[in-house]
Structure 1
Amino acid sequence: MLCANMSIIGFGTANCSEAQKLLNIAKELLHTEEAYVKRLNLLDQVFCTKLTEAGIPQEVITGIFSNISSIYCFHDKFLLPELKTRITGEWDTNPRIGDILQKLAPFMKMYGEYVKNFDRAMDLVNTWTQRSSQFKSVVQNIQKQDVCGNLTLQHHMLEPVQRIPRYELLLKDYLKKLPDDALDRKDTEKALELISTAANHSNAAIRKMEKMHKLLEVYERLGGEEDIVNPANELIKEGHIKKMSAKNGTAQDRYLYLFNNMVLYCVPKLRLMGQKFSVRERIDIAGMEVQENVKQNLPHTFAIIGKQRSLELQARTAEEKEDWIQARITHMLAYSSTPTHIWTHSVCLSCTQAAWAFGTSALLENGISKDFLPIHSFSVFGNYIL
């Protein structure tokens, strides 16, 4: 029947496989839509309802879930039923989806409100998880249920933001496989135009949330010891490192997290399920120095010199050491917006020790970094105004 009705969508009798590809895309759209509606049900009918019943203030509920009820109603009562009827019951006689999406795409403008509120929603979840034991208990109890799939509330809240870009990808694939003279082409092109506009806003929110996901993962690995889940924080680099003992020079296994504003110096904790760490020191990035080759008799060594603590470290390879130093420097160049700091690459004239320094412009005089004058006499060969 599929091949017999290919003329409806513009295929000749010789290209049954292309028509099958269109049907496969339509089925994928339907299957993902069914799964998506279940996620919307979880957000609206479970999380939102249970928190309301627990007496969480209505303004907090609205601030977190925004217009999720309207989004859920649209997909559950309109888009999903129409797709299901067309793809499972009418495809043999009417093999197209562009007309449905073109008709309903304008309603996806409601996603704009949800996406614009997304950052605030994340902040509210974090704030109320810390502030209210009742809020935290309700959310954790729901997250333990099988329907959550071992994912957090924040992960599920990202689903509506991700859904629009997925429609865009499916429609682009569908359009590529449509013949130029297909009856469904104009409707599909119009639907894609409307959905692409909405997808641009969603993609920006997704990039922000990906950063938040990284922070959540680190937060969990640190056992909730450090308050790092904040939009102002950004994880730059992480990895295993050796810490050189100041007493006897032995190497100890440690783990570093480099953020835009701090370094977390951690020690491993033995756990049966997954690697966990405990924070030994939080070192501010402001005023930090990174010195190379601090142990002349050991390869790949460097030192972090901060306000809170100084650490002598050893990387496994020269490349790994360079990665740590460059990650720090590249971040400084990318994120500093005012010319109030100087980054200098200096070498001691007497011992050839290299150092990367980050201080105020007042610390540079006559081409020599004052940060190092008490101990070393440095010749500056690279200055970068930040």
Structure 2
Amino acid sequence: ILADVARLDVFGLCVLTNDQKLYKIASELLQTEKAYVARLNLLDKVFCCKLMEEANKGTFPSDVVKGIFSNITSIHAFHSQFLLPDLEKRMGEWDSAQRIGDILQKLTPFLKMYAEYVKNFDHAMELLKHWSDRSPPFKAIILDIQSQEACGSLTLQHHMLEPVQRVPRYEMLLKDYLKKLPEDHADRPDAQKSLEIIGTAATHSNTAIRKSENLKKLLEIYEMLGEEDDIVNASNEFIKEGHILKLAARNTSAMDRYLFLFNNMLLYCVPKFSLVGQKFTVRTRIGIDGMKVKETYNEDYPHTFQVSGKERTLELQASSEQDKEDWIKVEPVRVCVCV
């Protein structure tokens, strides 16, 4: 089976037998587990250890480091010492033992570790931001590690999302695996039992996953805005973004601008030159509290609307009537629209 699947992959063919499909799913489980363990090692043995070494010198409290990384050491130990070796062994003998359900059942008693990590996640993000702002040595250690090749140009926050998202990944792979598994296959009872337990844990993680996706977007915006300090905050919820035109005071021209809408503020930004990715400068922040939005009419410029707040009033032009409607009706803007 292994040789057949490899040959199909080389030639880009996708007509696989059911056994080959099962092997590909099991192989994906193994490969993603290897990558996951590498991420856990980075969190546990690099970030956490380096920060704890500095904390032990009295530079900042060791409880801060423990509060950020929670039980990551236990999660890392289980996956690196037990689950990954078992998967590697099973894939090495796949032709004679085509099953993964029994191995994933070993994961289920350890799902409580994930519940603890997920529960602590928001607190960890708050601690990380607070001490990055407060302690230059703390921030310097993180920036130094993030600059290393092993980090893949990702922030510590990005890496810390992995355990939050891992259990739903197991659920997805198990569902796919069971679809391909014959009804009378010896692995079906174990795989079904594993899916039931892991699926329940994944459901409980849905809120945390949504928060993690929001955090990931906040991190992206943080980088685009030249590291605006208060963007990555658990209370901030990203809602909408997009290009817009700013009408000049005398309606003589329209200037390219960009909007980021959050649950608590609208950022009015100016694009700036960058060789790598989109970059913007924040020109104005308008708080949602007291902000008013109304449709306007302009003979020279179609699809216009006005945003006014305590800080500033903006005369804007959308790219189309639909785009204008989307901006006017989006929550939380919709609740403060003036007709």
User: Does the alignment reach a TM-score above 0.5?
Assistant: yes
The SS at the match of 2:244 is: strand
> CA separation in 1, counterparts of 2:327 and 2:82?
52
> CA separation in 2, counterparts of 1:159 and 1:254?
34
The SS at the match of 1:220 is: helix
RMSD: 2.1
1:344-383 deviation line (CA, Å, top 9, x unaligned):
xxxxxxxxxxxx32xxxxxxxxxxxxxxxxxxxxxx8xxx
> CA separation in 2, counterparts of 1:199 and 1:28?
19
> CA separation in 2, counterparts of 1:226 and 1:110?
31
1:232-265 deviation line (CA, Å, top 9, x unaligned):
2222221222212214632222222222222112
The SS at the match of 2:298 is: coil
The SS at the match of 2:289 is: coil
Query: Are the structure 2 counterparts of residues 149 and 244 from structure 1 closer, same or farther at C-alpha, using a change threshold of 3 Å?
Result: same
The SS at the match of 2:124 is: helix
> CA separation in 1, counterparts of 2:87 and 2:27?
9
The one-letter amino acid paired with 2:74 is S
Query: Are the structure 2 counterparts of residues 118 and 246 from structure 1 closer, same or farther at C-alpha, using a change threshold of 3 Å?
Result: same
User: Displacement of 1:119 after TM fit?
Assistant: 0.9
User: Displacement of 1:316 after TM fit?
Assistant: 2.2
In the other structure, the counterpart of 1:119 is 122
Any stretches of 5+ residues in structure 1 without a counterpart? 3-15, 337-342, 344-355, 358-379, 381-386
Contact kept? 2:101, 2:188, Cα under 8 Å: yes
**Divergent runs of 4+, >3 A:** none
Q: How many residues align?
A: 323
User: Displacement of 1:171 after TM fit?
Assistant: 1.1
Contact kept? 1:128, 1:136, Cα under 8 Å: yes
| 1:20-169 correspondence runs (5 A) | 20-55=20-55, 56-88=60-92, 90-169=93-172
User: Displacement of 1:121 after TM fit?
Assistant: 0.9
User: Which stretch shows the higher mean deviation, 297-306 or 106-115?
Assistant: 297-306
User: Displacement of 1:91 after TM fit?
Assistant: 2.2
Overall identity of the aligned pairs, in %: 62
> CA separation in 2, counterparts of 1:59 and 1:72?
20
Task: Say which of 247, 257, 275 aligns to 1:254.
Answer: 257
TM-score, length of structure 1 as denominator length: 0.79
State the structure with more CA Rg. Answer: 1
Any stretches of 5+ residues in structure 2 without a counterpart? 3-15
> CA separation in 1, counterparts of 2:229 and 2:159?
24
> CA separation in 2, counterparts of 1:100 and 1:297?
67
The SS at the match of 1:295 is: coil
Task: Say which of 170, 175, 178 aligns to 2:173.
Answer: 170
The SS at the match of 1:49 is: helix
Contact kept? 1:106, 1:194, Cα under 8 Å: no
Contact kept? 2:293, 2:333, Cα under 8 Å: no
> CA separation in 2, counterparts of 1:106 and 1:150?
34
1:285-309 deviation line (CA, Å, top 9, x unaligned):
2222222224344312221121111
Query: Are the structure 2 counterparts of residues 310 and 178 from structure 1 closer, same or farther at C-alpha, using a change threshold of 3 Å?
Result: same
> CA separation in 2, counterparts of 1:176 and 1:139?
43
Q: Is 1:313 matched up with 2:316?
A: yes
Contact kept? 2:39, 2:159, Cα under 8 Å: yes
User: Displacement of 1:60 after TM fit?
Assistant: 0.8
> CA separation in 2, counterparts of 1:255 and 1:122?
27
Structure having the larger proportion of residues in strand:
1
Structure having the larger proportion of residues in helix:
2
TM-score, length of structure 2 as denominator length: 0.89
User: Displacement of 1:207 after TM fit?
Assistant: 0.6
Contact kept? 2:164, 2:212, Cα under 8 Å: no
User: Displacement of 1:52 after TM fit?
Assistant: 0.8
